Copies of this chain bind each other. A is one copy, B any other.
Amino acid sequence: MNMKHGGDILSYSEQYSADLLDFSSNINPLGFPKGLKEHWMNTLGNVQKYPDIKYRHLKENIANYLKCDSEEVLLGNGVVEIIDSVMRLKDRVHLVYPSFGEYLDRALIHGKTVESSLYNADYSINIETLKAKLSENTILFLGNPNNPSGLRVEKKILLEIYNLVLDRDCILVLDEAFYEFCPEDYDSIELFRTNDFKNVVILRAATKFFALPGLRFGYGCTGREMCDFLESTRLPWSISYFADSSGEYIFNQKEYIEISKKYIKKERNFLLTELSRFKGIHVFPTDSNFILIQLLSHSEEEVFHFFLKHGILVRTCSSFQGLDFPCIRIAIRREDENKKLLTVFQQLLEK
Interface residues, chain A, with chain B CB atoms under 8 Å away: 5-10, 22, 25, 27, 31-32, 37, 41, 44-54, 56, 77-78, 80-81, 84, 88, 102, 109, 211-216, 233, 235-244
Contacts and interface: CB of A to CB of B under 8 A. Distances in A.
B77 A77 contact: yes
Contacts of A32: 47-48
Given A47-B213, A50-B214, A215-B240, 16 more contacts: A5-B236, A8-B52, A9-B49, A9-B52, A27-B48, A31-B45, A32-B48, A48-B211, A50-B213, A51-B213, A77-B238, A78-B237, A84-B235, A214-B242, A215-B242, A216-B238
B50 A238 contact: no
Nearest to A78: B237
A10 B237 contact: no
A10 B214 contact: no
A139 B56 CA distance: 34
Contact of A237 (B80, B236, B237): B80
A32 B27 CA distance: 31
Most buried by B among A5, A84, A216, A237: A216
Given A215-B241, A242-B242, A80 B48 contact: no
B56 A214 contact: no
Contact of A51 (B22, B88, B214): B214
B47 A215 contact: yes
Contacts of A5: 50, 53, 236
A27 to B, nearest CB: 6
- Chain B CB within 10 A, most for which of A47, A52, A56: A47
A102 B50 contact: no
A250 to B, nearest CB: 12
Contact of A47 (B49, B214, B244): B214
A7 B236 CA distance: 12
18 contacts: A5-B236, A7-B49, A7-B53, A9-B49, A10-B56, A27-B48, A27-B49, A37-B41, A47-B215, A48-B212, A49-B214, A50-B214, A77-B240, A80-B236, A81-B238, A88-B109, A216-B237, A240-B240
A244 B54 CA distance: 25
Contacts of A214: 46-51, 240-242, 244
A321 to B, nearest CB: 17
